[in-house]
Amino acid sequence: MADSLVKVPDVEIDSEGKFKYILVRVKVKGGTDHKDIVRGTKSAEYHNHIFEKVNPALEALGVECSVLGGGKIEHNNTEKKLRVFGESTGYGKADHAVTVEKLKTVFKDYEITME
């Protein structure tokens, strides 16, 4: 995988609470290598606000981004639980199964469910 993709963390979400998230495909500019990443935060009123924050930072690393869909995550770090659900009005529903697999790589000792 290209170095620019290796530098991009698979998951960046808030440490607690219920918030919107997007599933983003990150691709090497002019290439075919890609990976999917999860980004979510309470500070975003709408799903596109997450993309507006993430996209410029990723483009600076030399990669292109496209949103595959969105939803919500409920993060309870006390009980070590993550719940993936819902959809984005603007981007449509993310493939929650892909999101869950990404979350499992970071939150190994968590119970992760999807609806």
Each residue's pLDDT tens digit, 56-98: 999 998 899 999 999 999 999 999 999 999 999 999 999 999 9
Euclidean distance between CA atoms 3 and 75, whole angstroms = 30
Percent of the chain, pLDDT > 90? 88
62 torsion bin: left (phi>0), alpha (psi -120 to 50), beta (else)? left
**Which pLDDT band, with edges at 50, 70 and 90, does 1 fall under?**
low
CB 80, CB 110: distance < 8 Å: yes
Q: Was 20 annotated as part of a binding site?
A: yes
Q: Are 75 and 14 in contact (CB under 8 A)?
A: yes
Domains of the chain: 2-114 (3.50.20.20)
- Mind telling me the catalytic residues? 47
Name 91's Cβ contacts closer than 8 Å, sequence gap at least 6.
22, 47, 48, 67, 68, 69, 70
